[in-house]
Amino acid sequence: MSQEHDYHRLVEKVKELPWYVEEFIDHKRRRMSSSTLLNYCHDYIIFIDWLRTEGFYQGNRSECPMSVLETLTPKHIESFLSHLELQLGNTKRTVNRKISSLKALFHFLQNIAETDELEPYIYRNVLAKIDFNNVKETMETVANRIEGKILHNDEYEQFRQFVAADYGEQHQDNKKMYHFHQKNRERDTALVSLLLGSGLRLSEVVNLDVDDVDFKKHSVRVIRKGGKEQFVYFSEQAMVDLDEYLRIRKDRYRLPKNEKSLFVSTAIGPRKTSRRLSNRAVEKLIEKYAVAFGKPALTVHKLRHSFATRYHMENNDVPKLKKHLGHSSVQTTMIYTHMTDKEMKRAIDHMDRMDSESDE
């Protein structure tokens, strides 16, 4: 399966950053996926732009000298972190991820990279003095937070049916929205059905090629975190919806014979060309349907949670679920046992109420 899309985006994004960041990205490329490194690049762009705004450096983003990094104090970094949280609206968990990105870069510059004279690129690493935000949560707390934002029971098929038909009926009076839905409903239904029927990550779905789908085995070939290849099974309904989409895919989207991407965009531009749906395009697609469906908190990742919760309820096999989701730690998978425990309690409470009513 090709990840050329993320790779080319990474190549372009690195051009916006200083030479030493490019060297760091090259150092990490063997061990980290292009999508992860893209996130690093976005974090570094935000950081360097903040340095420019605050007057630490004046000039082009790509020319920010490494010497600026050694002038920063812990107070400066704390000010940047406050900017992330208060001005940009990042959660403490998101801020921690950006701290991790910066720590990785500064560690590389101080402890791994060397000049021709065998000296470190920087001697002073201010990020080594910065602690992560304390955002520890119990698995039950995480489960409770997620539980209200996912699909339950009949909502799985209701949401799929909404994407397949009801959304169009809801917008019949808006010709533009109605026709756009009619053109893309097979694609969108197949996408939602695959997410709900497999629990794939956003990047895994976006990077799928047509040749990655095995209809006989009901599985798709994906590259998981860390570059590991895995065949992930999907549901019978997802197979039906994928088959319907593939029947119209080539002609509907005017695709050349060599177009491998499974999920493609509507033909746009003067040449009316289609291309692989991007991460952001899929996120916006799900957001559009979620809002119209009445569950605006529903996201691609929440569809993954929905699948995992349903899988555990029906199979109660944590090791298999861990493998299916591609989790590196069973502790992550255990979140779904807490979510289903709550559902079980609700069911028992309902039974208690029914018993008391029958006794009256």
Tell me the torsion sign for CA atoms 93, 98, 104, 106: negative
Name residue 304's amino acid.
R
Burial environment of residue 51 by CB neighbours within 10 A (0 to 12, 13 to 18, 19 or more): buried
Active site residue 167: no
Q: Are 251 and 157 in contact (CB under 8 A)?
A: no
Q: CA 271, CA 52: separation in Å to the nearest integer?
A: 39
For 117, the 3-state DSSP assignment is coil
∠ Cα 250 251 257 (to 5°): 45
- Active-site residue among 27, 52, 171, 225? 225
- C-alpha distances in Å from residue 195, one per residue of 7, 192, 271, 284, 306: 23, 5, 31, 15, 9
Q: What pLDDT, on the 0 to 100 scale, is given for residue 350?
A: 52
Could you give phi then psi for residue 56, rounded to 5 degrees? Answer: -70, -25
The DSSP output letter for 244 is H
Domains 4-135 and 141-351 belong to one CATH topology:
no
Query: What does the radius of gyration of the chain's CA atoms come to, in whole angstroms?
Result: 24
The DSSP output letter for 267 is P
Active site residue 336: yes
The DSSP output letter for 328 is S
- Active-site residue among 5, 98, 276, 327? 327
- Active-site residue among 185, 201, 276, 312? 201
Tell me the helix, strand and coil percentages in the chain, rounded to 5. Answer: 65, 5, 30
Residues 6+ apart with CB under 8 A from 284: none
- Active-site residue among 160, 304, 312, 322? 304
Q: What pLDDT, on the 0 to 100 scale, is given for residue 84?
A: 96
For 349, the 3-state DSSP assignment is helix
Q: What pLDDT, on the 0 to 100 scale, is given for residue 93?
A: 84
Q: Are 130 and 77 in contact (CB under 8 A)?
A: yes
The DSSP output letter for 327 is -
Domain assignments of the chain as residue spans, ordered by start: 4-135, 141-351
4-135: in CATH 1.10.1740: no
Which three-class secondary structure string do you get for 217-236? Answer: CCEEEEECHHHCEEEEECCH
Domain 141-351 adopts which CATH fold?
Answer: hpI Integrase; Chain A (1.10.443)
Burial environment of residue 263 by CB neighbours within 10 A (0 to 12, 13 to 18, 19 or more): buried
- Active-site residue among 20, 44, 245, 336? 336
Q: CA 259, CA 273: separation in Å to the nearest integer?
A: 11
Q: What pLDDT, on the 0 to 100 scale, is given for residue 342?
A: 53
pLDDT tens across the length of the chain (360 residues): 445 677 888 999 999 999 999 999 999 987 787 888 999 999 999 999 999 999 999 999 999 999 999 999 999 999 999 999 999 999 888 999 999 999 999 999 999 999 999 999 999 999 999 998 876 655 555 555 555 577 877 888 999 999 999 999 888 889 999 999 999 999 999 999 999 999 899 999 999 999 999 989 999 999 887 778 899 999 999 999 999 999 999 999 989 888 999 999 987 666 677 889 999 999 999 999 998 988 888 889 889 888 888 877 787 777 788 888 877 777 766 766 665 555 555 555 555 554 444 444
Q: What pLDDT, on the 0 to 100 scale, is given for residue 357?
A: 46
Q: Which of 171, 97, 105, 169 is nearest to 132 (CA)?
A: 97
Active site residue 304: yes
- Active-site residue among 27, 107, 288, 301? 301
Active site residue 201: yes
Active site residue 13: no
For 105, the 3-state DSSP assignment is helix
Could you give phi then psi for residue 359, rounded to 5 degrees? Answer: -75, -20
- C-alpha distances in Å from residue 323, one per residue of 14, 151, 212, 231, 232: 33, 22, 19, 10, 9
For 280, the 3-state DSSP assignment is helix
